[in-house]
């Protein structure tokens, strides 16, 4: 039987972006016969030791990761005042540890992103810091909020290619929206041009439809909107369900 590993996954520790406890995901992975799982919280690695211990108790391999925020520059100069100001351009990127050195490197990056000179609405690292991440960390291009999906970045061809070549995998997702479909096609062409493999995944925020409704209620109570992402199916998928989602999107092209 074919299977896969969910590596782009958010729990209630991705603050205000999920209502699902990590144990429920591990239990689901076990139920589906999956052998590993990775948690990629927004900008943090909260409770990663507890997650690892619970995974090992259930014979599931724990993979260490984070969905970090990137900024082109930590500061820019205000042309009118000449003062250094922070810019709110928080792009998304997935980082996965390849080994113990990678675990330590990710944890250091998360700590760095929370320092006063880095934090601005979100914990962030700069593009240059991202480009210096070692081969002990697997780098994936993440969702529609990736810098590779930014028109501003795409127009700067040199910067775009530097970022694209730093990624180990380009991430396509099965959401039936025009933007997602166009982005998937762009990533496919890019993967051929720079010899980077594609990886297919969901962007999981909820265990099931009930937990998805809970997430919606939480976001509405806090006045949070994610544009067309609010219409996406971000629930945990079995292998056959994931394949079915991609097949539906392919048929719609």
Has residue 109 got a pLDDT over 80? yes
**Residue (of 63, 44, 45, 54) closest to 22 by Cα position:** 54
What pLDDT is stored for residue 77 in this prediction?
82
pLDDT in tens, 159-186: 999 999 999 999 999 998 899 999 999 9
DSSP conformation class of 138 = E
The mean pLDDT of the chain is 93
Q: What is the mean pLDDT of residues 148-153?
A: 96
Q: What is the pTM of this model?
A: 0.93
What pLDDT is stored for residue 55 in this prediction?
98
Q: DSSP strand E in the chain: where?
A: 36-39, 61-71, 76-77, 84-85, 91-97, 124-126, 137-140, 170-172, 198-200
83 touches 99 (CB < 8 A): no
**Residue (of 175, 190, 188) closest to 237 by Cα position:** 175
d(CA 248, CA 4): 19
d(CA 15, CA 122): 11
**Residue (of 45, 143, 147, 60) closest to 96 by Cα position:** 45
**pLDDT above 90 covers what percent of the chain?**
80
What pLDDT is stored for residue 102 in this prediction?
98
70 touches 91 (CB < 8 A): yes
Q: 100: pLDDT confidence band, cut at 50, 70 and 90?
A: very high
Compare 82 and 95 and report the one with higher pLDDT.
Answer: 95
Partners of 170 in the beta sheet? 198
Residue 146 tokens read as 């990736």
pLDDT in tens, 211-240: 999 998 888 887 766 555 567 999 999 999
What pLDDT is stored for residue 87 in this prediction?
86
pLDDT in tens, 28-59: 999 999 999 999 999 999 999 999 999 999 99
Secondary structure (3-state) at 134: coil
């Amino acid at each position: 039987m074919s299977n896969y590993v969910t590596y782009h996954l958010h729990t209630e520790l991705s603050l205000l972006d999920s209502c699902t406890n990590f144990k429920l995901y591990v239990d689901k992975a076990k139920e589906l016969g999956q052998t590993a799982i990775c948690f990629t919280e927004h900008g943090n690695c909260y409770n990663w030791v507890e997650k690892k211990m619970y995974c090992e108790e259930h014979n599931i391999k724990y993979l260490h990761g984070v969905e970090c925020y990137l900024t082109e520059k930590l500061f820019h100069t205000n042309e009118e005042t000449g003062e250094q100001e922070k810019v709110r351009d928080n792009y998304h990127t997935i980082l996965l540890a390849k080994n113990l050195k990678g675990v330590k490197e990710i944890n250091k990056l998360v700590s760095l992103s929370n320092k006063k000179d880095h934090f601005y609405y979100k914990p962030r690292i700069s593009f240059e810091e991202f480009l210096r991440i070692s081969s002990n960390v697997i780098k994936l291009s993440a969702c529609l909020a990736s810098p590779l999906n930014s028109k501003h970045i795409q127009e700067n061809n040199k910067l775009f290619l530097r970022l694209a070549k730093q990624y180990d995998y380009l991430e396509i997702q099965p959401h039936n929206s025009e933007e997602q479909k166009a982005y998937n096609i762009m990533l496919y062409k890019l993967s051929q041009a720079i010899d980077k493999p594609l990886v297919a995944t969901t962007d999981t925020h909820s265990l099931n439809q009930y937990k998805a409704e809970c997430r919606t209620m939480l976001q509405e109570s806090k006045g949070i909107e994610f544009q067309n992402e609010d219409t996406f199916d971000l629930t945990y998928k079995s292998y056959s369900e994931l394949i079915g989602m991609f097949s539906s999107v392919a048929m719609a092209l």
